[in-house]
């Protein structure tokens, strides 16, 4: 859905005129976008410490955290992106990708500016690495976001494109409004978040897909400008909280495509999360600061899948390669195809009441069938 279609859809929902935040400055922001942050600590001399993500930025008065969307004003910490939507589209849920969460559904996908890491391969760097006043945005408060999803026949709202952690307050408010309308919420995140806000988030949303950038602390330091440990901790917490979780691993030539990394990842997933967590090995295409690298060879993706299969993971996929047999879901017992995909389209589903139609083996996921 492009911006014109989005505005038309909002008008069809009988929504009030959608405000547009273009060229705003931090000196005179639109108050509709400002709300007190949910997780922070007040420090002496009007300083604040953010407690949302593992960076724990200590911020002086009138300064912002690393993400660029949270600001200290006189010793009170504020988000600057509440209801400040920089991207809105209707996508197949498979595009996120979620393969075991209401397959064939469409998601009303929203994002604000900002991110709490800086991945050199980011495909949405134009909004994720921007401050909110640097991008055109729409005013879409939570109840109107839920109404727009319902009007457009979307049973799911996805928080995606940039990093939902940095628009946490808006995301949770939309999720609450959506739940009241019978609409599910799915989060697409890098998982770089502290435990307390993560556990609270689990009470409001229905599924989380984590981009596990690599299985290497060095990669996280050099390529992501982050830390892998909080991400792994977040994955463990999501499973402990009963959250439906899927993992995407973007395979980048020369940087995170070694056999030992694939094997280490698969062993960790099986031991810490269980074999039923889907893992998507996805093809890299040159983006942002890594345009010097080639796309991932399909043979490398096949090697990654083979390593994970050998370790006993039940649902291992190859992504961004339309027509590859590993974009389908197979029953781990009888090995029959139970979900056939062609790109982001579902061709057939042979899952009945959460089980394989052929041998009645339960298939992990949230199927709606």
| In the chain, where the domains are located | 84-327
Question: Does pTM top 0.85 for this prediction?
Answer: yes
Name the more confident of 11 and 299. Answer: 299
Helix or strand holding residue 261 (H, E)? helix 259-272
pLDDT at 191: 98
CB contact at 8 A, 338 and 331: yes
pLDDT at 368: 81
The predicted model gives 281-302 an average pLDDT of: 97
pLDDT confidence of 29, banded at 50, 70, 90? low
pLDDT at 12: 37
The predicted model gives 322-341 an average pLDDT of: 97
Q: Indicate whether 23 pLDDT > 90.
A: no
**Which alpha helices (DSSP H) does 62-185 contain, by range?**
125-128, 142-151, 168-180
Q: Cα-flanking dihedrals φ and ψ of residue 366, to 5°?
A: -125, 100
Q: Which residues does 168 contact at the CB level (< 8 Å), separation at least 6?
A: 38, 39, 52, 79, 197, 201
The predicted model gives 183-206 an average pLDDT of: 98
Q: Cα-flanking dihedrals φ and ψ of residue 341, to 5°?
A: -120, 145
pLDDT confidence of 206, banded at 50, 70, 90? very high
Q: Which fold has domain 84-327?
A: TIM Barrel (3.20.20)
pLDDT mean across residues, the chain: 93
Q: Indicate whether 47 pLDDT > 90.
A: yes
Alpha carbons 239 and 271: distance in angstroms, whole number:
12
Complete DSSP assignment for 211-249: E---S-HHHIIIIISS-HHHHHHHHHHHHHTT-EEEEEE
């Amino acid at each position: 859905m492009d911006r014109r279609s989005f505005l038309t859809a909002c008008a069809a929902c009988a929504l009030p005129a959608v405000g547009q935040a273009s060229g705003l400055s931090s000196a005179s922001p639109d108050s509709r976008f400002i709300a007190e942050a949910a997780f922070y600590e007040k420090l002496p001399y009007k300083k604040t410490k953010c407690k949302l993500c593992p960076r724990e930025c200590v911020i002086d008065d009138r300064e912002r955290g690393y993400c660029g969307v949270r600001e200290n004003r006189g010793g009170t910490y504020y988000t600057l992106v509440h209801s400040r939507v920089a991207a809105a589209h209707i996508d197949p849920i498979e595009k996120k990708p979620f393969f075991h969460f209401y397959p064939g559904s469409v998601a009303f996908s929203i994002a604000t500016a900002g991110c709490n890491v800086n991945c050199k391969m980011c495909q949405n760097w134009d909004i994720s690495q921007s401050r909110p006043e640097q991008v055109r945005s729409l005013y879409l408060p939570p109840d109107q976001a839920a109404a727009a999803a319902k009007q457009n026949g979307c049973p799911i709202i996805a928080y995606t494109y940039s990093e939902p952690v940095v628009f946490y307050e808006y995301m949770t408010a939309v999720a609450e409004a959506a739940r009241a309308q019978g609409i599910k919420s799915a989060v697409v995140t890098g998982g770089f978040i502290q435990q307390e806000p993560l556990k609270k988030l689990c009470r409001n949303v229905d599924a989380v897909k984590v981009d596990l950038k690599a299985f290497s602390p060095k990669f996280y330091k050099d390529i992501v400008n982050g830390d892998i440990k909080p991400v792994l901790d977040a994955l463990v917490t999501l499973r402990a909280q009963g959250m439906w979780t899927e993992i995407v691993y973007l395979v980048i030539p020369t940087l995170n495509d070694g056999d030992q990394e694939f094997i280490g990842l698969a062993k960790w997933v099986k031991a810490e999360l269980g074999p039923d967590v889907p893992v998507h090995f996805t093809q890299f295409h040159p983006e942002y600061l890594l345009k010097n690298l080639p796309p991932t060879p399909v043979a490398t993706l096949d090697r990654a899948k083979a390593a994970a299969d050998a370790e006993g993971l039940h649902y291992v996929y190859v992504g961004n390669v339309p027509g590859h047999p590993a974009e389908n879901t197979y029953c781990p017992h009888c090995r029959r195809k139970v979900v056939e995909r062609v790109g982001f389209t579902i061709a057939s589903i042979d899952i009945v009441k959460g089980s394989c139609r052929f041998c009645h083996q339960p298939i992990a996921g949230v199927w709606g069938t």
